[in-house]
Each structure stands twice: as structure tokens, then as C-alpha cells.
Amino acid sequence: MQVDLNNQVAFVCGSNSGIGRAIAVVLAKNGADIVLNGRAAASAREVIDEIQPLGRKVIFEKADITEYHEMRRAVDHALSEFGKIDILVVSGGVTGSGLKSDLFLETPTESYLAWAKTRWCSRLYCVRAVLDHMVERHTGKIVLISTDAGRWPTPAECMAGSLGAAVVMTTKVLAQELSRWQIRVNTICLTAMEGTPSYDYATQLSARLAGVFKKALAKQPFRVTSEDVANAALFFCSDESKAITGQILSVNGGLSFPG
């Protein structure tokens, strides 16, 4: 898929690895300048080295997406470097949090707020950090990455699924509220995919839950890669989707068919 993102600036959260990295690279290949984001500058070096030969400007902004003030500082610095942000993609924030999916009865009550901060508030913080700028310019594309467990009941995913559902409703409400400023908001919902940090995370669960997860993926009709997700994000970031907002797209290889 090829689109024209020349003269566009994309801030891609959680882009040091996995799905976020794939999205940043495909946006750069289609002409966008890129603001990378993550918690560690060292891991961003490989992504920078991949994007720079494409002739695109790329910088790294260190910030934890689960901390609003860090994200606001990163956005403000990116604006000082580029002068604008046209596109916001929010991936990441899940792995490295120390939280483990489990049956609800076995999920510690003291972890509930941490789950909310990681899976839902992280998306709110990133959107809010860039929103004043997009409202002022009367333009913007926002793409959130979440879980298909927020659309389809999944055993041992009560916490992740509930907060994924919150992201889904947030997408729809924001799309209505922000349309007056020509800001479009859409979400891509995923299952874990081989070769990504989320897959490694899932297979490190208890033997019972990891086995359930692997059996589910064995039933997946079509294999999904990070590049498939990146192409879906590219569509939502482009003018080809200018009439689309408030929509939820499941990229799950036919594993489930949520409404």
C-alpha cells in the first residue's frame, strides 16, 4: 500500500519495537517525518538507522506513556523541533508493566488501577498531550492500538478486555467530540502475534494460560504480522480514510468476528 504522507509529522508512541516500530517505519516509507517514543533511548537507535536512509527526518522522545506529564513534555519538545504534529499513533505500554493476564479470581485487587493506567489511561494521556495543538490547527489523525479482547469475551483477559472496551468507547466519544475540529479518531484491535513483545509476554504466562493462548492462535485462519497492522494504521493516517472516524478495526486473522 502506498499513500502520500509528504510534509506530515507522525508521533508514534511505543515505537522502539514490535507493532509501534513497524508502524513508524511504514509511515516513513510513505513520506512522513517521525517522532519515535519509548522509555529507552538505546533501543530507538536501530529504528532511527532504519528510517534515516529513507530521507525522512526522525527524532526520539523519551517518555513513559503511562505518565501524562512525561508525554506532554515529549510532545512540546517534538513541536519545537517540527513545528507541528499531524498524526498520533498510540501503541505500546503493555509489556514491561509487570502485569500478567490471569483469571479474574486470581487477579490481585491491588493491581486494578495499574491495569487501568497501562491499558487505558496511557491512551488518554497521549491524546490529551497532543490535543491542544491539533484543536488549534483544526486537523489531526489519531490512531489507537488496543486489544480484540475489548470486543470479544476472552478467558483470562477480564482486565485487558474491560480496558480494551474502554478504549473502544473512548474512540467513539472522542470522534464525535473532535469532529468539529476536523480531527479523526480510530482504533485498531489486535490479538497477540508471533514475533512481537506481546506474543513473548503471552507465552510467559502460566503453563495453563499459555496453552490456551497457543490453542486459540492455532485456530486462526490467517496469520497476522506487524506489517499487516502497520498497513491498517497507514490507511487510517492517510487521506484515503478522510471520511472515516470513530471506527474500530479488528486485525485478528479471522480468529473472532466482533460486531
**Residue 93: per-residue pLDDT:** 77
Q: Which residue segment(s) compose the domain that 220 sits in?
A: 9-250
**Residue 205: per-residue pLDDT:** 61
Cα separation, 170 vs 122, whole angstroms: 12
In a domain, 130, yes or no: yes
- Percentage of the chain modeled with pLDDT above 70: 92
**Residue 191: per-residue pLDDT:** 86
pLDDT score of 95 more than 90: no
CATH number at residue 118: 3.40.50.720
Q: What's the whole-number mean pLDDT along residues 150-163?
A: 92
In a domain, 223, yes or no: yes
For residue range 54-92, what is the model confidence (pLDDT) as tens digits? Answer: 999 999 999 999 999 999 999 999 999 999 999 999 998
Number of domains making up the chain: 1
Burial (CB < 10 A; 0-12, 13-18, 19+), residue 239, is exposed
In a domain, 255, yes or no: no
Cα separation, 90 vs 171, whole angstroms: 12
In a domain, 179, yes or no: yes
Q: Which of 194, 148, 143, 195 is nearest to 170 (CA)?
A: 143
**Residue 206: per-residue pLDDT:** 61
Rounded to the nearest integer, the mean pLDDT of the chain is: 92
Dihedral angle sign, alpha carbons of residues 228, 236, 234, 201? negative
In a domain, 121, yes or no: yes
**Residue 64: per-residue pLDDT:** 96
Q: What's the whole-number mean pLDDT along residues 219-231?
A: 93
In a domain, 4, yes or no: no
**Residue 210: per-residue pLDDT:** 67
For residue range 110-132, what is the model confidence (pLDDT) as tens digits? Answer: 999 999 999 999 999 999 999 99
**Residue 2: per-residue pLDDT:** 93
pLDDT score of 195 more than 70: no
